[in-house]
Structures are given as C-alpha cells and as structure tokens.
C-alpha cells in the first residue's frame, strides 16, 4: 500500500521517498561515508521520554554515528547547555543551499553523501528536502521525523508516537552494536 | 484612460521660409506639460530589459534557491511533464526555470491585483472628484509619490496623472506576464529579473491606490498621531445591526458610512455598527475611527459563524470563497460589489433599492451583486436595519454543552490535523472535547488560521472551526484592543530627522512587520518581535494583517504597543502605515531617504536609488505570515529596491529565496566610488529573501540584515550590539560570523568588548585596510577612476 504524505496535499510528483524502519535507517547511516545531521527548532519541543527531547536524541545519534551536527535556528543554546558543541550553527535554508554544491562540506573536505534531517517543522522540511532531491543529485537524504516526507530519499512512514520512538531507538541500536554497515 | 505618450520628435535643424532652428525636440503628450522639477533620469518607464543589468548584479550575489513544491508542470497539454532531477519538459523547460516561472506568475498575479485595485479606485474617484483633483498630502509631504517619480519619471499633481502612471504599470504587467507562455522565457535568472520587474511595478500600483484614497477620502496624511481605533473579535456591539465589509477596496465601506450619516443614522456605532475584516477594515477606520476592525483575514469564518453580522459586503482579495455558503448558514445576505468576485450572484445594479432590499430581507435570494457602489451602500444599510430584528444574530457556533455532544462523533482519524496548513493537533483537541475538556480547543483558537480545511476533511462532518470558536467564547467576548489607524506616508520632515542616523547606522534599523496572517504559531509572535525591536529603539513599521496582530497583544503594563509607543517614524516609534497598498509608503520611505537626506536625484533614476538603499539604508522586512501572491510581489519589489525580507516557515512554499553566501568573498565586493577600487565590504546585507524557522531566528537575522557597508563606526557598533545581544539571548553565544562585520576595533560593541576581543584573537582577525568606503555596485557612479 502506498504511503500518503503526512500532509495529504503534499504530493510532489513521481519520485517519492522509500519508507524504512529504524534498523534499516541505522544501516544506511552506518554505511554512509560522510553523513551530516541537521537539527531544527522542533527538536527543542518534542519530548521522546520523560526527560529526553529529540535534541538529546540527536546528540546520541551524532556520538554513535560520528556524523557532525548542524544546529539550525535557536537550537545551539540547548546543545551547549548539554555540553555538546555542534559543528556549525546555520539557518536551515543556509545549510540546505550549500548542500546543493557537490564540492561543499561542513569541514571543507570531501562532500557529504547523506544528510539526516530531524526536528524541522514539516512544511519547511518538506521544501528543504525537495531542493536537495531535485538539485543535489550527489546526495541522499533521510528524515527521521515522525511523519512521512515524500521529498526525502528515505523516510519513516507516518508513525504513532510510540512506534516512532521505537524506530529512533532501533537506529541507535544498529549504530551502537556494530550490526550491518561498513563503518 | 488609455492615454498614450509621450511621443518625442528630434530634429537636427528645421528651416522654413521664416524660421530656422537647430537641435529641436518636440514632445507630444502628458510629459510635454510636465514641469522640469528635476532632470530626467536614465530609466523613465523602464521596460522588461531596462533594469535587467541591475537585477543580474543582485542575483549574482543573492542566488535564487529553489524548493519546488511540485515537481511537475501542468500548464499546457504536453503535460503533465515530470521535471524531477534535471529532466526537461516537452517544451524544453527545466525545473529551475519552471520555479522561476511560477514565482514570476505569482508576482504577476500580485501586481495585477494591486494595479486593478488602483485602477478601480482611480477611475471611480476621477468620476466623482474630477481628473484635476489635486494630490495634496499636506505641508510636510512634498515628495508625494516617490515610487511614481522614481519609476514612471513624473511628478504627479492630479488624479488624472495617476491614471496616466497606471497605464504604464498595466502595460508592463501584460508584457511581462506574456513571458510565462509556453516557449517564451527559458532562463531562470531572466524569470527572476521579470519577477523583480513585476515587484517594482507592484509598489507603483500600491502607491497610486493608497494616495488616491488618502487625497479624496481625507485619510490621515502621514499623521504620527493618527487616532486609535477599536480592534478585536469582541469589539462590536452585538445589540445593534451590523454591516460587515470584507476585502481590500474601501470605497463601498465609505459609501455605507456616508449613506448612514446622510440618512440621519449617525456615525458607525451610533445606530448601526460598521465593522471590517482584512485591509478594508484598515481603510474604513482611516475614514471614521468609530468603525470597528474585527481583525485579520483569519477571523472571517469565525466571525461570520458567530452571527454578529447582519449583512456581509464583499469587495475584493483574500475573501474566503465559501463566504456565500457561510453567510447563508447564519441567514445573513451577501452583497458583492466587485466584478472580480461575483460569486454566482444575480447582478441587480439596475433594480430599485427597495426591490433589492425586499429580495434580501425575504430570503428570496442569498445575496446579490451590485456594481453601483452608492446603490449597494443604500441596500446594505436598509437591509441591515430590516433584517437584524428578524435574524436575531442567528449563529452556528455551539454552546459548551452542544459542543461536547458534537465532538463525541470524532473517531480520531487525524484527517483534520493532516489537512491543517500548520499541522495543529486538532484531532487531540476534538478528542479531548469529547471528554468535556475544552481547553485544548481554546488553545488552538489562538493559533488557528481559520481556513476550515479541517472541517472539509472531516469524514464525520464535524464543524471543527465552530467547535474551536465555541470553546474560546470566553476569550472572544473580551477580545478588545486599540490600534493606531493607518497614517499613510512618512513625512519629509521625519525623513530629514532620521535620514542621517539611519544611513550612518545610529538608529539600528527599520523593521517592517508586514504581510498576511498565515502564522506558524499565532499572531502573538509578530507582536513579540515588534516589542523586542521597539525596546531596542529600532523604527518599527507595520501594515496589513501584521499591523492588526501587533494590536492584539498586551504588554506587561496591560496596554497595547500602539498605546505605549509613539506613532512617529523615529527611534522606538511604531508606525502603522495602513492596509496592503500602504506598503508602498515603507519602501517609499527608503527612497525618500536617498532623495531628501542624500539628495540623490529621484526622477527615473531607479538603479542609483536602489544601489543607495542596498548599501546604506538599514531596513529589513519580516513577513511572518505571508500567504498571498500579493505578498510575493510586494516582497520581490522590496528586493529590487535593495531591502531584504524574512519570511516565516510557511514562506518556503513560495518556492524561491534569494540567498547570499558569505564565504563567496567576490560576491560581496563593491566599487569604492571615490577610487574605483573593487573592495570587499563583508556580507551586508547577507540575504535578500530568507526563511526563518522560528521567531527567535527571525529576530537575530533581522538585526543582522540591517547592517550596511556604509555604516559609520558608531553606527556599526550600535547595530552589532543588537546583533550580539540577540544572538547571545537566543543562541547563547557570540555570532560565529561576527568577525566578518568588524572593520576596526572602533566597531566593537563596548558592552561586550573584552569577550569580543578574545574571540577576534581566536579567529585571527585583522583590522581592515579600507574600513569605510563609498560603496556602489554601479560603475558609472565612480567619481575618480584609477
């Protein structure tokens, strides 16, 4: 059965994201040569545990995957309060703009091959993913947010909150136990 | 109307039997009688290609960034064409060009809408007041129409001159829109140049519309102490008959008020309430402050369903297209006065007033179209008086008990949320209401856009918007605020006062809060941003729905910002210019700074003025809830003039931004007009159109986008103080690009000097060799060439 976009009207065209589960997402991230994580302002609000927000999850994801984090909007302050220093602070449109360029990377060396988005408002994230889908052919993208993003290369399907958290944890399990992937 | 001209004939020499002349120029047409108030500049009535080179200078630095909302093209019968990832359509077009094309079409729609609005006003007002009616904006406004002078190249003196200027705008919109036909323009940069052209035309059209109504209807003429009017869903007296006017063309509201006053029914509010929604409300209270402003566009359906309106008069733009259906539900007749929105109604302009009133009062028809505005006004008033006792404010908003019962039909399928433009948790709120908890619905009321898409999607046909309205009943009744009415233009005297501190940077910037009400988290965010910048003594200007949202917020002192801050164009002033078309006064103020303060020639001198604004005038727009095509063209018009605009997250759906890249040093070089040298001046301003995720990000970015290459050291220090403080407040650190804006130690904010000096050491900062230049992107402005 085809997955419908979270926002019903958000039907972009013939090329839409493949859905995946957390373990597959974990293996894709693990297999990536130079992944990058982009974390938006929603990560400050979304709680995925009693004292754990999506931002805390992003920190864990970064530590396990080795992928640097770009903090967008005003997430930087919360990262620093947790003792975590993102690789850069940029607007979500600024970082996405630069990622179109196959010679650009956050550290100035080889280009990224995978970009992981989380915590950016659905409508905006969808547009950002569309820019990369169409104008950054060298890149793959994953959305780890709770709802299906057709403009990503891969996305979770629309999930209940509990299932989403399960899938997020599956990503971390794969990254931490060395299952699958090359890295 | 339809006047052409001017035509110019040049002759090297003319010799007849009795006459011998050399170098003769004969001009025929309106400009032939134009006084020589200023030498004609290089670009009178620019065509598509005239300012293309200026556009390309902007677009080279601020590259278009496309975010397609649809990967297909379905504009011709070759399609649908899949343009994904580099594919070309049957006509050969690529996806980037298609995005440029769609944005250009949006700008054409926006510009055409304002031009059409202006045309209706100008033609009607010429009919009523004569084409020689003078353009008089008072003693303190001599540069009466900066856009018209700048673009068209005329100094308009009468209503007739406005018609002439509008001819040019209309012709150019048609010419430019034609470029979007299949097989015409193919390059995305050229589509963008055309969007910029349309945006520029839009500002001329808006200026014409607003000046025409100011000079004829007696609106405030730049009065900083324009009166305060009432605004809010709860500001109307529901014991009186109420006529509600929705839209943007105020003429019908004014005719209604005039008819009431002539008929002994008094001013609005005495015997009959006259209330407005959206921009027509702004302009109605500019005419009579006793009229009421219900609120921005997002309140339409909620207010109609509350049953307060006895007659609904619609004119043009941004009116919910289900208005007739909604009005029928509450037994309120609709009168459409615009041929652009006839709504399937019978046109009865030729019928006698009494007959039309009878048709409406007896319910023979749900509404009528009346294109004779004076007749429409009489019908509206007489119908309201007769129908009010019959309908008894019939409403379709449930009371709290009914609400719980209706909500119990919800199966929590989630369709409401998944159709909500801003993803509000409507399903959870309705579900909670089933159990008697109405608090979540009441919370949603403050954020809701009022579009009713949730209802349309509900398979159980639950009237969700009515539930939201019912649950917030207690808030609505006390929703009464004060808004300073739209004051129109910025006075020349004010420009003389603030021109220098703005250009030198001592006033940290002009922040324009503009646009529609498609807010990601409610209108309160706009007011919070306004308050932050007012406290920091920026000049804050506002218009349209944003100006209304600012009013609907109380400070800690319990007053509105309009009551707390001055209405003057000064540091710490809050200036409501008026409705959408009054946006032209904001961009006009930037032009006037170049002209009045810096004495740059205005007449047909677009490039030079835009170059001045880009490099010297620290202004930045924030269109937090931009929704319409008009907002797209307004923003693009600001951009061509060199003014950056920040959009809310919904603005990403416009598909295109203009983003700079600060690491591209070459793109941020300018000529030093004194020497001709090409010099790097730092990324100021960094972007031309930007989307912020949150209001925190918007505030930090707005402070940064007010930086200009021409800032003095004192000015740069003041501007950087705000940028640093806002960055530290919301991001927790010094800005990571701070070193790019510090030219010498004198630029460093005193309050953070020690911390910043340490930072500068870490990034190996060196003082600039040429800290202050005379910046320009135009080679022709270099005074001394090396």
Quick check: bond before B685 cis, omega within 30? yes
Test the A interface: residue of B68, B95, B415, B687 with most A CBs within 10 Å: B68
| First vs last C-alpha separation in chain B | 51
Give the pLDDT confidence of B627-649 residue by residue, as tens digits: 999 999 999 999 999 999 999 99
For residue B712, pLDDT over 80 is answered with yes
For residue B6, cis peptide bond before it (omega within 30 degrees of 0): yes
Number of helices (H) and strands (E), helices first, in chain B? Answer: 28, 24
Chain A interface, Cβ < 8 Å to B: 6-9, 12-15, 40-41, 72-74, 76-77, 80-81, 88-89, 91-94, 96-98, 100, 120-124, 127-128, 130-131, 133-135, 137
Q: Which residue in B186, B12, B172 sits closest to B97, CA to CA? A: B186
pLDDT above 70 for A12: yes
pLDDT of B32 strictly over 60 = no
What gap in Å lies between CA B548 and CA B569, rounded to an integer? 18
**What letters, b where the CB count within 10 A reaches 16 and e where it falls short, cover B645-668?**
bbbbbbbbbbbbbbbbbbeeeeeb
ipTM over 0.95: yes
Residue B4 has pLDDT above 50, yes or no: no
- Whole-number Å distance between alpha carbons of A54 and A60: 10
d(CA B748, CA B766): 13
Tokens of B365: 């028809």
Chain B from 93 to 122: CB within 8 A of any A CB: 95-96
Decide if pLDDT at B30 tops 70.
no
Q: Are B80 and B74 in contact (CB under 8 A)?
A: yes
Largest CA distance in chain A: 44
Q: A128 to chain B: which residues are within 8 Å by CB?
A: 67, 652
Q: To which H or E segment does residue B217 belong?
A: helix B188-217
Q: Which tokens sit at B507?
A: 């006033």
Looking at residue A68, the DSSP 8-state letter turns out to be -
What is the pLDDT, as a whole number, of residue B147? Answer: 98
Please report, for residues A2, A88, A112, B65, B667, the alpha-carbon distance to residue A104 in angstroms, rounded to integers and kept in the order given. Answer: 35, 14, 8, 16, 17
CB B730 within 8 A of CB B748: no
Helix, strand or coil, per DSSP, at residue B317: coil
For residues B60 and B192, give the distance between their C-alpha atoms in angstroms, rounded to a whole number.
Answer: 12
Is residue B750 within 8 A of residue B718, CB to CB? The reply is no
| CA gap B244, B449 in Å, rounded | 19
Give me the pLDDT at residue B34, please: 60
pLDDT at A180: 44
Model pLDDT, residue B5: 47
At residue B197, φ and ψ (nearest 5 deg) are: -60, -45
Residue that has been written with the tokens 């509206």 in this structure? B380
Distance in angstroms (rounded) separating the CA atoms of residues A73 and B648: 12
Are B689 and B195 within 8 A, CB to CB? Answer: no
Confirm or reject contact between B356 and chain A (CB < 8 A): no
Looking at residue B249, what is its pLDDT? 94
Whether A89 sits inside 8 A of B415 (CB atoms) is: no
pLDDT at A65: 97
Q: What average pLDDT score do residues B563-568 get?
A: 98
Q: How close, in Å, is residue A11 to chain B by CA atoms?
A: 7
Strands B689-691 and B63-66: what pairing? Answer: unpaired
Q: Are the beta carbons of B693 and A121 separated by less than 8 Å?
A: yes
Global pTM? 0.96
Q: Which residue is it, tokens 């609505």?
A: B476
| Residue to test with chain B: of A70, A74, A101, most B Cβ within 10 A | A74
The torsion angles phi and psi of B314, rounded to 5 degrees, stand at -110, 135
pLDDT of residue B703: 98
CB < 8 Å to A124, chain B = 649-650, 652, 691, 693
- Chain A, nearest residue to B418 by Cα: A7
- Interatomic CA distance for residues A80 and A75, integer angstroms: 9
How far away is chain A from the Cα of B461, in angstroms, using its nearest Cα? 18
Interior angle at CA B496, CA B495 and CA B499, nearest 5: 65
B326-355 residues touching A, CB cutoff 8 A: none
For the cut 90, the answer to whether the pLDDT of residue B254 exceeds it is: yes
- pLDDT of B483 higher than 80: yes
DSSP string, B431-467: HHHHTT--HHHHHHHHH-----HHHHH-TT---HHHH
Query: Which pLDDT does position B363 carry in this prediction?
Result: 96
Burial of A50 (0-12, 13-18, 19+ CB in 10 A): exposed
- Whole-number pLDDT of residue A77: 98
Residue B618 has pLDDT above 80, yes or no: yes
**pLDDT value at B355 more than 70:** yes
Burial of A83 (0-12, 13-18, 19+ CB in 10 A): exposed
Contact B472, B272 (CB under 8 A): no
| CB contacts, 8 Å: A103 with chain B | none
Q: How confident is the model at residue B475 (pLDDT cuts 50, 70, 90)?
A: confident
Q: How many CB atoms lie within 10 A of CB B714?
A: 14
> How near does any CA of chain A get to the CA of B659, in Å?
7
Pick B86's closest partner by Cβ from A7, A121, A137: A137
Whether the CA torsion A85, A90, A96, A97 is positive or negative: it is negative
Residue B2 has pLDDT above 70, yes or no: no
Q: Identify which of B632, B65, B98 has the alpha carbon closest to the alpha carbon of residue A92.
A: B65
Structure tokens, B464: 């969700």
Contacts with B656 from chain A: Cβ below 8 Å: none
Nearest by Cα to B647 from B697, B714, B590: B697
Q: Determine, for residues B694 and A41 on separate chains, whether the beta-carbon distance falls below 8 Å.
A: yes
Average confidence (pLDDT) over B680-698: 98
User: Residue B24: is the preceding peptide bond cis (ω within 30°)?
Assistant: no
Residues 6+ apart with CB under 8 A from B25: B8, B9, B10, B11
Q: Is B472 helix (H, G, I), strand (E, B) or coil?
A: coil
Q: pLDDT per residue over B387-436, tens digit each? A: 999 999 999 999 999 999 999 999 999 999 999 999 999 999 999 999 99
pLDDT value, residue B15: 73
Interface of B with A in 580-609 (CB under 8 A): none
Return the number of CB contacts < 8 Å for A and B.
Answer: 129
Tell me the pLDDT tens digit for each residue of B496-551: 999 999 988 889 999 999 999 999 999 999 999 999 999 999 999 999 999 999 99
Nearest CA in chain A to B728: A77
Per-residue pLDDT at A181: 43
Give the pair of three-digit tokens for residue A131.
């820019």
CB nearest B82 (choices: A14, A123, A137) = A14
Whole-angstrom distance, CA of residue B350 vs CA of residue B335: 14
CB atoms within 10 A of CB B615: 22
Compute the distance between CA of residue B367 and CA of residue B272 in angstroms, rounded to an integer: 20
Interface of B with A in 513-552 (CB under 8 A): 520
pLDDT of A2 over the 80 cut: no
> pLDDT tens for residues A87-102?
999 999 999 999 999 9
Is residue A182 pLDDT above 80, yes or no?
no
CA dist., res. B219 & res. B678, Å (int): 47
B658: pLDDT strictly greater than 60: yes
Categorize the per-residue pLDDT at B27 as very low, low, confident or very high, splitting at 50, 70 and 90: low
| Set of chain B residues whose Cβ sits within 8 Å of the Cβ of A8 | 415, 418-419, 457
Rounded Cα gap, residues B440 and B607, in angstroms: 52
Region A153-174 average pLDDT: 97
- Chain mean pLDDT for chain A: 95
pLDDT digit string, tens, across residues A42-59: 999 999 988 899 999 999
> What does the block give as tokens for B461?
């046909």
3-state secondary structure of B542: strand
Over residues B191-204, mean pLDDT = 98
Nearest to A77 among B67, B69, B731 (CB): B731
Residue B262 neighbours by CB under 8 Å, 6+ apart: none
Element (H, E) at A119: none
- Residue B336 pLDDT > 80: yes
On whether the CB atoms of residues A32 and A64 are closer than 8 A, the answer is no
As a whole-number percent, the residues of chain B with pLDDT over 90 amount to: 92
CA distance B731 to chain A (A): 5
Instruction: Catalogue the E-assigned strands of chain A.
Output: 18-19, 35-39, 69-71, 88-89, 114-118, 140-143, 154-155
Q: Is the pLDDT of residue B328 over 90?
A: yes
Q: How far is CA A72 from CA A39, A95, B226, B248, in A?
A: 6, 8, 41, 38
Tokens standing for residue A20: 């995946």
Mean pLDDT score of chain B? 95
Both structure tokens of B499: 């021109």
- Residue A130: alpha-carbon gap to chain centroid: 14
Closest partner CB to B659 (pick from A89, A93, A127): A93
Q: Which of B208, B169, B43, B182 minimizes the C-alpha distance to B105?
A: B182
Q: How confident is the model at residue B29 (pLDDT cuts 50, 70, 90)?
A: low
Instruction: Name the residue among B173, B174, B167, B175 with its Cα closest to residue B119.
Output: B167
The answer to whether the CB atoms of B650 and A91 lie below 8 A apart is no
Beta-ladder partners of B574: B540
- The rounded distance, in Å, linking the Cα atoms of B32 and B23 is 17
CB B163 within 8 A of CB B131: yes
- pLDDT bucket at B17, cuts 50 / 70 / 90: low
Measured between CA atoms, how close is B84 to chain A, in angstroms? 6
């Amino acid at each position: 059965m085809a997955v419908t976009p979270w926002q019903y009207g958000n039907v972009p065209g013939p090329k839409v994201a493949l859905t995946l589960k957390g373990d597959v997402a974990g293996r894709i991230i693990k297999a990536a040569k130079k992944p990058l994580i982009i974390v938006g302002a929603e990560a400050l609000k979304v709680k995925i545990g009693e004292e754990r927000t999506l931002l805390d999850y992003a920190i864990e994801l970064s530590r396990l995957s080795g992928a640097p984090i770009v903090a967008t909007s005003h997430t930087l302050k919360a990262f620093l309060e947790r003792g975590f220093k993102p690789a850069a602070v940029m607007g979500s449109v600024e970082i996405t703009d630069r990622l179109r360029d196959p010679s650009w990377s956050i550290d100035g060396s080889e280009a990224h091959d995978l970009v992981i988005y989380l915590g950016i408002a659905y409508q905006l994230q969808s547009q950002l993913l569309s820019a990369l889908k169409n104008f950054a052919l060298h890149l793959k993208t994953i959305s780890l947010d709770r709802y299906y993003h057709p403009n990503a290369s891969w996305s979770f399907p629309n999930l209940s909150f509990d299932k989403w958290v399960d899938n997020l944890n599956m990503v971390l399990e794969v990254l931490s136990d060395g299952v699958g992937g090359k890295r | 109307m339809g006047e052409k001209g001017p035509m110019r004939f040049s002759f090297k020499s003319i010799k007849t039997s009795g006459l011998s002349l050399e170098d003769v120029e004969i001009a025929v047409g309106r400009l032939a009688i134009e006084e020589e108030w200023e030498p004609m500049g290089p670009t009178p009535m620019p065509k598509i290609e005239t300012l293309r080179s200026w556009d390309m200078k902007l677009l080279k630095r601020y590259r278009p960034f496309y975010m397609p909302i649809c990967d297909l093209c379905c504009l011709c019968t070759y399609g649908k064409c899949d343009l994904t990832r580099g594919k070309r359509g049957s006509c050969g077009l690529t996806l980037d060009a298609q995005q440029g094309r769609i944005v250009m079409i949006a700008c054409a729609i926006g510009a055409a809408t304002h031009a059409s609005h202006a045309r209706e006003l100008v033609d009607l007002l010429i009919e009523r007041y004569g084409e020689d009616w003078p353009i008089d904006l008072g003693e303190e406004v001599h540069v009466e129409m900066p856009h018209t002078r700048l673009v068209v190249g005329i100094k308009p003196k009468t209503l007739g001159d406005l018609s002439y200027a509008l001819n040019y705008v209309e012709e150019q919109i048609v010419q430019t829109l034609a470029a979007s036909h299949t097989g015409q323009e193919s390059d995305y940069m050229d589509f963008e140049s055309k969007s910029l052209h349309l945006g520029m035309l839009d500002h001329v059209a808006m200026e014409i519309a607003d000046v025409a109504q100011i000079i004829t209807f007696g609106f405030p003429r730049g009065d900083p102490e324009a009166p305060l009017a009432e605004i809010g869903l709860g500001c109307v007296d529901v014991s009186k008959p109420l006529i509600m006017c929705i839209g943007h063309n105020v003429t019908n509201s004014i005719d209604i008020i005039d008819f009431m006053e002539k008929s002994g029914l008094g001013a609005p509010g005495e015997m009959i309430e006259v209330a407005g929604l959206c921009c027509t409300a702004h302009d109605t209270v500019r005419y009579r402050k006793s009229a009421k402003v219900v609120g921005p566009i997002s309140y339409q359906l909620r207010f109609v369903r509350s049953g307060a309106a006895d007659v609904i008069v619609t004119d043009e733009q941004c009116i919910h297209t289900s208005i007739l259906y909604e009005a029928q539900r509450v037994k309120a007749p609709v009168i459409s006065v615009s041929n652009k929105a006839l709504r399937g109604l019978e046109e009865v302009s030729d019928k006698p007033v009494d007959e039309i009133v009878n048709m409406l009062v007896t319910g023979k028809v749900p509404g009528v179209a009346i294109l004779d505005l004076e007749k429409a006004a009489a019908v509206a008033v007489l119908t309201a008086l007769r129908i009010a006792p019959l309908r008894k404010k019939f409403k379709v908003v449930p009371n709290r008990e009914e609400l719980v019962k209706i909500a119990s039909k919800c199966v929590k399928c989630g369709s409401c949320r998944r159709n909500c433009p801003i993803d509000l948790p409507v399903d959870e709120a309705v579900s909670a209401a089933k159990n008697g908890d109405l608090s979540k619905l009441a919370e949603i009321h403050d954020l809701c856009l009022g579009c009713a898409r949730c209802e349309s999607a509900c398979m159980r046909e639950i009237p969700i918007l009515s539930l939201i309205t019912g649950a917030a009943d207690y808030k609505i009744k006390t929703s009464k605020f004060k808004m300073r009415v739209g004051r129109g233009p910025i006075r020349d005297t004010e420009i003389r006062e603030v021109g220098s501190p703005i250009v030198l940077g001592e006033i940290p910037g002009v922040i324009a809060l503009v646009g529609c009400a498609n807010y990601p988290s409610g209108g309160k965010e706009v007011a919070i941003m306004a308050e932050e910048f007012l406290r920091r003594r920026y000049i804050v200007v506002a218009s349209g729905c944003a100006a209304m949202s600012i009013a609907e917020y109380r400070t800690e002192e319990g007053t509105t910002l309009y009551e707390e801050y001055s209405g003057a164009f000064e540091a710490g002033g809050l200036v409501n210019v008026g409705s959408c078309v009054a946006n032209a006064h904001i961009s006009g103020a930037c032009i006037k700074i170049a002209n009045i303060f810096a004495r740059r020639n205005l007449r047909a001198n677009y490039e030079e003025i835009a170059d001045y604004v880009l490099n010297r005038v620290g202004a930045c727009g924030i269109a937090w809830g931009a929704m319409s095509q008009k907002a797209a063209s307004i923003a693009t018009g600001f951009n061509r003039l060199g003014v950056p605009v920040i959009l809310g997250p919904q603005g990403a759906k416009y598909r295109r931004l203009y983003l700079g890249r600060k690491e591209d040093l070459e793109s941020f070089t300018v000529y030093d007009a004194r020497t001709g040298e090409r010099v790097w001046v730092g990324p100021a301003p960094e972007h031309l159109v930007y989307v912020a995720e949150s209001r925190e990000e918007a505030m930090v970015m707005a402070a940064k986008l007010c930086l200009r290459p021409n800032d003095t050291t004192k000015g740069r220090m003041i501007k950087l103080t705000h940028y640093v403080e806002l960055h530290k407040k919301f991001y927790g650190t010094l800005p990571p690009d701070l070193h790019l804006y510090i030219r010498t130690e004198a630029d460093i904010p005193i309050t953070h000097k020690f911390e910043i000096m340490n930072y500068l050491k870490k990034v190996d900062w060196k003082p600039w060799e040429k800290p202050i230049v005379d910046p320009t992107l135009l080679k022709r402005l270099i005074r001394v060439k090396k």
